[in-house]
Amino acid sequence: MSKIVIISSSTQKMHDLVNAMESTYRTQGILMTNGNLLSEMKAGIPDCIVVYAEGLSRTKLFGVMDLRENEDTLHVPLLLIADENDVNIFKMHVKPGPDAVIDTTSSYTDIRLAIDRLCATSEKVSSVLVVDDDPVALKLVKSYLEENYKVNCVKSGMLALKFLEKQKPDIILLDCYMPEMNGPQTLQLIRNMPDLKRTPVVFLTGNSEREMVMSCLNLHPSGFLVKPVKKEDLIKKIEQTI
């Protein structure tokens, strides 16, 4: 059963939609004005976000703007239910914009069909977690992959572990050398997480890190790529691995 979160500035509309959808999906309703919307998601990252919009303003959209830009939810498909005026206001302030739009006059059946289409599309896309303390390297790898994959980026091993408590990617690209907790140490902790014992991990290494690479072979990584990695080599390795 897919998980959806319904966000609305109207308490009544939120409850009406939750009641209509809860027999089909694992559903949670959140008021648009609740500030940090991500922290309100009790069941973790949903498969689809539904925003019912009426009488929008930039102020009302602050929480949705933050949610849409957050790395954890950036690639979660978003369905906007709104009239033409509110659609324009939404698109003006929220980037990226909605993945699908339907009018407020749409039936519950139409809403379910739109949600199902977005969830189906989302399920077909493989997800990649990139772990690297170098923001330039993160940006480069993300630019290589974001057209064809869901890409989440974190800047440390500790942040990777926190991310993995909530989400399970299809593959992890892990920098070997990072301060505080290096790649092998991070992978050791990942392998101790029950749901991630078999998740493929590819190390991103520098030419001078051969000793570190050799020291973590017993952790059974899925391979190594030397930085700066070429786009075609990266995509080929991911395709071969997952």
| Burial of 14 (C-beta count, 10 Å sphere; 0-12/13-18/19+) | buried
Q: How far is it, in rounded angstroms, from Cα 120 to Cα 225?
A: 32
Task: Please report which confidence band the pLDDT of residue 105 belongs to, taking 50, 70 and 90 as the band edges.
Answer: very high
Q: pLDDT for 216-232, tens place per residue?
A: 777 788 988 888 889 99
Q: Where are the domains of the chain?
A: 3-124, 127-241
Task: Please report which confidence band the pLDDT of residue 110 belongs to, taking 50, 70 and 90 as the band edges.
Answer: very high
Q: Please state, rounded to an integer, the average pLDDT across all residues of the chain.
A: 88
Question: Does the pTM exceed 0.85?
Answer: no
Q: How far is it, in rounded angstroms, from Cα 8 to Cα 31?
A: 5
Residue 100: strand, helix, or coil = strand
Helices (H), the chain: 11-21, 37-40, 62-69, 84-93, 108-124, 135-145, 157-164, 183-191, 210-215, 231-241
What pLDDT is recorded for position 210?
A: 66
Amino acid in the structure at residue 114: A
Write out the two tokens for 181.
């907790």
CA neighbor of 228 nearest in space, from 195, 206, 197, 203: 206
What pLDDT is recorded for position 208?
A: 61
CA neighbor of 93 nearest in space, from 134, 63, 136, 113: 63
Would you identify the CATH topology of the domain 3-124? Rossmann fold (3.40.50)
Q: Just give the CATH number of 127-241.
A: 3.40.50.2300
Amino acid in the structure at residue 165: E
Calculate what percentage of the chain has a pLDDT beyond 90. 50
Residues in the chain: 242
Q: How far is it, in rounded angstroms, from Cα 31 to Cα 7?
A: 6
* DSSP code of residue 103: -
Please determine, for residue 75, whether its predicted confidence score (pLDDT) is greater than 80: no
**Two domains, one topology: 3-124 and 127-241:** yes
Calculate what percentage of the chain has a pLDDT beyond 70. 95
| Burial of 58 (C-beta count, 10 Å sphere; 0-12/13-18/19+) | exposed
Residues 3-11 have a mean pLDDT of: 92
* DSSP code of residue 98: -
CA neighbor of 37 nearest in space, from 69, 13, 15: 69
